[in-house]
Structure formats: structure tokens, C-alpha cells
Structure 1
């Protein structure tokens, strides 16, 4: 994979450039991520904030996480497309939603989390780490 990789929300009002490979890519099966993705799970790429550049205005939303931390999200003010999540107590790390990259070949989860809430019909591939909840 050659970096940087560009990405953008659905309408293009927010764009970004991923400068370096994510530290990991995870599939989350929690009920909140199922609602977010309107699918069986949501894909997240763990990225250091110094390795990504954003352009455009984003809105923010947050909720308490089961851990007691805050799960905050930034999204396009125009189309509502979610760009990333973050913990305000750890602003140097973000959880990028990589499905809006121009090259989605990095989307290959090496771990599946919250499988205790997984849809019964989805079969997790062999060879990936599996966690009942958040590791």
C-alpha cells in the first residue's frame, strides 16, 4: 500500500489525507456500531492524529461509553457522514471510519470486538483475534 491515501465524506465537504498506515483495523459488533453502520458491524482504523490531515467543517456528537470514557464522533455538517471517533481524554488517537477512503484495500480487520453482541448469521473469518467485549 502506498501512502498518502485520500478520503472524503459522501458530499465531499470534508476531505482528508491519511499519511501513514493505521496501527490496526478492527470490526466492532456492538449494538451502537450496528446502528451507526446500519449493518452487522462497523469498521474502525486506529490512527495517530499526526498521521492524518482534515479539511472542511465537521460537527461533533458524544455519548458515554461502557468503559466510563466518552465516545465522541466527528461528522460532516452537510451530509452527516461519520469520519471518525475519539476519546477526548486521548486526543492524539482517532478511530477513523475508513470506508470513505479512495482506496479501501486497507480494510482488512485483524480483530473483531464486542462479538458478544454479534449478529448470529455473520461468521468471523479464521485467523483473526476475537474479543467478547472491548479489549
Structure 2
């Protein structure tokens, strides 16, 4: 497995929307909720929580798609690739689909969420599993463990 080298660039499938990250992820995740299953056409979606000040769209203009509510899901207006999500009220990070990066080989989910909705055969190598979302007070410890073991000194992520 390779390591994430910053800055890292990426884009949608057709290349009309490009982005760049210049900060390491706060956390990496796989979400098993039925909404993510539908939007990703897969068993789960993958995300890397990138600090907002370390994320930028460098070309093109993504549009809001999927649900048009509190979680704003951004897509390429041409190829409709689901690129990232900006949860309302949580402006300090962007949930990037890591496969939008030109080199996503570094990515491994650290936590998995909504396992109470997962398909019976779907498995991930996540270290922590949650039936729904972790409680808000759990995130500080999860991000600290991720940073210590996977961003600065460990072998994954």
C-alpha cells in the first residue's frame, strides 16, 4: 500500500471537474447506509474527511445532486460522478470520495458506519465498526487514533 503524498490531485471520471487536497484526512470511512448504497451503486461508499482549508476545486463547477438537503452531495455536471459531500453545520471538513484522487491506493477505511444496514456479504478492513454513526463525543478519540496510527506513524491510510 502506498502513502498519501500531499498535495494530491484528482477529478471526476470525465476530467471536467478537478480538485486538490493539501491536508491529510482527519478520518477515513466506509458507509453502509442504504442511501450511500443507492448513490454509489455499490455495497458502501468510501470517504476521506479532509479539513475544509485543505480542499479546493481547481477546475470546473460541481453541482449538488443526490439528496438536496442538509448533506450537500456534489457531482460533476457532465459525467455525474459523486465527488464529495459537505454536511451542513459541519463546515470544518469535506467528505471526499477518495477514488476521485488520481492515486487512491493509499486509502483504507478506518471506521465503518451504518453496519445495521449493510449487505450481509459486505466486509471492509475498518478498525472500528458502528451500527449507525459514532456519537459526536467519540470523534475526538477516533481522529486522534487515526492521526497517530495512520497519518503520522502507522502502516495504513
Q: What range is the shorter-chain TM-score in?
A: 0.7 to 0.9
Number of equivalences? 129
- Give how far 1:63 is off: 4.1
Structure 1: runs of 5 or more not aligned: 65-69
Matched ranges for 1:20-39 at <5 A: 20-39=23-42
Higher strand share: 1
Alpha-carbon offset, residue 106 of structure 1 = 2.8
Match of 2:9 in 1: 6
Q: Is contact 1:43-1:107 (8 Å) kept?
A: no
In the other structure, the counterpart of 1:72 is 72
More helix by share: 2
Runs of 4+ residues deviating >3 angstroms? 61-64
- Between the aligned partners of 2:124 and 2:106, the Cα distance in structure 1 is 18
Residue matched to 1:67: none
CA separation of 1:98 and 1:89: change in aligned 2, threshold 3 A = same
Mapping of residues 107-122 of structure 1, within 5 Å: 107-122=107-122
Given that residues 40 and 82 in structure 2 are in contact (C-alpha distance below 8 angstroms), is that contact kept between their aligned partners in structure 1? no
